Structure 1
Amino acid sequence: DHQFQRAGFDKSRLFYTQGDYGLFQSVNRSLQKTYDNEEWVMRAMEAQGFVRDENGVFRVPEDQSIRMRIPTELIPKCPDDGSDVVMNLRCDDSFVEDEGWHRASAAYHDFLKKHENDHVLYLELGVGGNTPVIIKYPFWQMTLANNKATYACLNYREADCPEEIAVQSICINADIGAILDRLKA
């Protein structure tokens, strides 16, 4: 997660419709809020024995001693009510769509509306089949509705599209990392 941010994209221009590994949410469903977890992740990594290199990237130490556990006091809790927290990921009906999510969703849908008849590339990188109604099926429908649109899917063993949009599609069944490395070369 956050690969687009790491590559320099402005976070305010991104929409994580399926959630964000960089956020926690309370297990208390009455709290419809998310909480940034970057500081906690850094402390947890250090508590396990990982060390940062000169670029701030965590590495396994030379002696290979990683603890694979954190102290009890580092178990994350909700800052509002002390309840347990989980990752903000759409895996069931407890997913929190907070104010930031709704703001990003509105911006995304405004963008789609503004460009619905333009030359658009619907780029799908590694989208699995768990929840196709969120990304995959809408991309297919928008491609079908706009003859100037192109659907591109890069996914290991899961890159395909309906016959109705095949002429507007580029489906690459390959490892994303390998393909992106080749594009950089």
Structure 2
Amino acid sequence: MEYECPTGKPYYDLMELLRGKNYHIMTTNQDFQFTRVVPEEKLSAIQGDSRFFQCSRRCHDELFYNHDMIYAMNDAIDENLCIPTELIPRCPKCGAELEPWVRGYTFLEGQKYRDEYRKINEFLQANKDRKILFLELGVGRMTPMFIQEPFWNLTYALPQAFYITVNPKDALLPQELSSKGLAIKGDIAIVLRDAVKTASGERMDDRYQDEN
């Protein structure tokens, strides 16, 4: 069950690297692990969040926090791996089944969806003239249009932008960004772990210099 899955160490390592920095995270992950380590105002989950249900008919714009519904269904599973019909989540307006608010054929692009994009767009507008790093972690080639290609375009367009991609398989750097980017082909967990060690060493060196 997603509610009980522990948050992976790479998430904590990433947040350690971002500590004290101005940042915003845009993610296509729907497993809400980022919500455990990142304030909601600094996170844009642009492909949905499985903590929420939506009407499968999209008859209205409301989302439903599903924690209690999920646990009630889980507790009621019988020996045949079935649950009582009355526990199937249904829309209070039209009676259709509720379904996870994640990207699919009936994905609800309502107010919360627009809010997720509003947050990242406000961050970009406020920081477009500053030094800005677009750090892409684990984005593959199945859906490059959501993060990878926008990052490429923004890095190319913004004068002080730099782009880093970390991916064990699809670490791609367009030729147009050869002087403004870096592709690291490797395990994200190892790269972040090593980056934290390096950054911690630098902070210790800084303290030593301050004391002397």
Please classify the TM superposition score into its range, dividing by the shorter chain length: 0.7 to 0.9
Structure 2, unmatched stretches of 5+, are 1-30, 198-212
Q: Give the alignment's Cα RMSD to 1 decimal.
A: 2.6
Structure 1 length as normaliser, TM-score?
0.75
Displacement of 1:183 after TM fit?
Answer: 4.2
Query: For residue 89 of structure 1, what is the aligned residue in structure 2?
Result: 102
Deviating beyond 6 angstroms after TM superposition, the runs of 4 or more aligned structure 1 residues are none
2:172 is aligned to 160
Letter in structure 2 aligned against 1:32: D
What is the match of residue 192 of structure 2?
180
User: What is the CA-CA distance between 1:29 and the residue it aligns to?
Assistant: 2.7
Query: How far apart, CA to CA, are the structure 2 residues paired with 1:68 and 1:10?
Result: 40
Q: Of the two, which has the highest radius of gyration?
A: 2
Identity of aligned residues (%): 30
Letter in 2 for 1:2: F
The alpha-carbon distance between structure 1 residues 113 and 20, as it changes in their structure 2 partners (threshold 3 A), is same
Name the residue aligned to 1:4.
34
Superposed counterparts of 1:55-134, under 5 Å = 69-73=81-85, 74-92=87-105, 94-134=106-146
Higher helix share: 2
CA contact (8 A) 1:34 1:98 kept: no
CA contact (8 A) 2:55 2:96 kept: yes
Aligned length: 166
Is the contact between residue 44 and residue 70 of structure 1 (CA under 8 Å) also seen in structure 2? no
User: 1:156 Cα deviation (Å)?
Assistant: 2.9
**How far off is 1:2 after superposition?**
2.1
1:32 aligns with 2:61: yes
